[in-house]
Structure 1
């Protein structure tokens, strides 16, 4: 790294930790729709629930699958410091029904949470991880017979659902040392009548088009859209790139994730929602932006409600002319 690059990186990190602009944390309460086990058991197949950040609960082929489960109050190795949640999870781990499989994208603290994995170990049948990440959770006490470690382009069928490990453009590491000792990646989930893509974390790259060619079209893409910054665009997508990745993947409905739960960058907390909504309208892209805990029926998408605008009602969108435009969703206009 050149001296100039080092100085610039140091400046960015200083601002990230000690010089945050206003608006990166909500001033009001983020609405959360409480969930119950009874509701989940009664939900039809192909229902999806955002629980926060990149944690998504999917009901596929009459079983439950969970991505990057983080239920802790902080995305941090310690309980008293680090990014604090904006909202509680819509349901506790104890209240969840039995989980057929947990799908993990990589080992960063906002995606691989030790407390959550340990709590889920007894009620989860399988844990699917990139190479090396399975070794970490085995050290935490997850039985080795439950762990399936898949490298890029490997696949496995569990409970009638095909899971394929696919590439992403990111990195790994849980501290100052051991960077890139484990793999990272994205995941394809192919259930009867329902095709889903989960990005994990990734910069924009040509791999999205290849994944779309290999496994698309997708009924739902769950793509990173938050905690971005132009200084780390190689490993996190800007909103314009998120929408383009969805198009590359031949996606039908875009569910933006990696937002609305933790303060991990310098942008206003609600900016990803506004920018994605604006860009989706310009590209004629269907988008879903549910409340945390609200069911998403991706095959029958509902209208978008700008719920985030009511959290900080005095804050106007920046960089847009007025409110975000309506996005067509199954014949209806977004509720603004």
Structure 2
């Protein structure tokens, strides 16, 4: 989502040196299909007239509340889904947070835009110290300005693609806390090695800053596990390249939601999410980017149903935790198909 005027991030030497940066903008490895004005207007018309009846649940989704004590007592290699693409991981005794969005709406406006299906299972105020926040790109459903400002005092490091960190600094995050990475660049924080890897997407928060910042997926390597976090991406051959370079993953957190035939370059259909997991050499698949915001033209529960069926058909180990439920990074926990309790309710 990128709908309002927005300041462009400054062009740094790292931008200019990036193989992804050409003619003032970042680019995918595989060019996106251009979106004509006619197709754009047709898409807007679909959003107005073609929303399914079940685009949003009729009642708030069930959430397992998390306390600070729960997090401090949780064993290593624990994971909690907080909603959408916000995931809390405990690695090497420290907490790591991906794409934290805690606001009521994934929007620059507090009164308009996609509204949450459920409350966060823990507030920012209740969170203990966070070793690092990992940001995949700057869209509003992944980069929540209010959350970043609240988190900044208790977060040691912010790890971002090129340009995204400059936004954080302008918002008041100390520059010493920010580490910007290009694709295939790594940083070491304690016992965790983090590498920004390619993704097939785009960026921007306003009318004039399209693709001024980079987007990325991330690899998290600890002494006990290797985790892949997709951020947002269309399906492309980069997943196979990442899997070959890193030798597979204990867990892959892969977007499975807000997909549609009209934007195949930037979001994956469930069968593509499954194929990306296989390309990566993933052992357990945990689908993200679903169950929190209405950002597509499908029923809110469809991503769960489709990936659940596909995983069964292809004998893929799947974790589908309820929001707030603790699961292991190393063991698949398919869960009790919790979303079905809200179907038609």
TM-score normalized by structure 2? 0.89
The aligned residue for residue 308 of structure 1 is 339
What is the CA distance between 1:301 and its match in structure 2?
A: 2.3
C-alpha contact (below 8 Å) 2:321/2:333 kept by paired residues: no
- Measured against aligned partners, the alpha-carbon deviations of 1:187-222 in whole angstroms (never above 9, x if no partner) come to 000011111000000000000000001113101000
The aligned residue for residue 187 of structure 1 is 218
The aligned residue for residue 149 of structure 2 is 118
C-alpha contact (below 8 Å) 1:102/1:127 kept by paired residues: yes
The aligned residue for residue 235 of structure 1 is 266
The aligned residue for residue 54 of structure 2 is 23
What is the CA distance between 1:2 and its match in structure 2?
A: 11
C-alpha contact (below 8 Å) 2:33/2:265 kept by paired residues: no
Q: Does 1:54 align with 2:50?
A: no
Q: Does 1:73 align with 2:73?
A: no
Cα distance between partner residues in 1 of 2:50 and 2:127: 39
Which residue, 314, 333, 336 being the options, matches 1:283?
A: 314
Cα distance between partner residues in 2 of 1:217 and 1:105: 20
Q: Does 1:173 align with 2:204?
A: yes
The aligned residue for residue 324 of structure 2 is 293
Secondary structure of the residue aligned to 1:192 is: coil
C-alpha contact (below 8 Å) 2:318/2:333 kept by paired residues: no
Gaps of 5+ in 1: 315-336
Distance 1:301 1:7, change over 3 A: same
Q: Does 1:11 align with 2:35?
A: no
The aligned residue for residue 256 of structure 1 is 287
Cα distance between partner residues in 1 of 2:323 and 2:190: 27
What is the CA distance between 1:15 and its match in structure 2?
A: 2.0
C-alpha contact (below 8 Å) 1:49/1:56 kept by paired residues: yes
Cα distance between partner residues in 1 of 2:36 and 2:181: 35
Distance 1:4 1:55, change over 3 A: closer
Cα distance between partner residues in 2 of 1:3 and 1:225: 23
Q: Does 1:83 align with 2:114?
A: yes
TM-score normalized by structure 1? 0.91
Cα distance between partner residues in 2 of 1:135 and 1:93: 22
What is the CA distance between 1:175 and its match in structure 2?
A: 1.6
C-alpha contact (below 8 Å) 1:216/1:251 kept by paired residues: no
The aligned residue for residue 20 of structure 2 is none
Cα distance between partner residues in 2 of 1:219 and 1:143: 33
- Measured against aligned partners, the alpha-carbon deviations of 1:211-254 in whole angstroms (never above 9, x if no partner) come to 00111310100000000001101110010000000000000100
What is the CA distance between 1:31 and its match in structure 2?
A: 0.6
What is the CA distance between 1:177 and its match in structure 2?
A: 1.5
Which residue, 65, 72, 76 being the options, matches 1:34?
A: 65
Secondary structure of the residue aligned to 1:91 is: coil
- Measured against aligned partners, the alpha-carbon deviations of 1:259-316 in whole angstroms (never above 9, x if no partner) come to 00000010000000000001111111011010100001131222431111111246xx
Gaps of 5+ in 2: 1-31
The worse-fitting range, judged by mean Cα deviation, of 4-13 and 283-292 is 4-13
Q: Does 1:163 align with 2:206?
A: no
Which residue, 276, 279, 283 being the options, matches 1:245?
A: 276
Cα distance between partner residues in 2 of 1:245 and 1:3: 24
C-alpha contact (below 8 Å) 1:287/1:304 kept by paired residues: no
Secondary structure of the residue aligned to 2:165 is: helix
The aligned residue for residue 204 of structure 1 is 235
Higher relative contact order (CA 8 A, sep 6+): 2
What is the CA distance between 1:120 and its match in structure 2?
A: 0.4
Secondary structure of the residue aligned to 2:156 is: strand
4+ aligned runs moved over 2 Å, structure 1? 1-6, 300-304
The aligned residue for residue 15 of structure 2 is none
Distance 1:17 1:182, change over 3 A: farther
Cα distance between partner residues in 2 of 1:4 and 1:247: 30
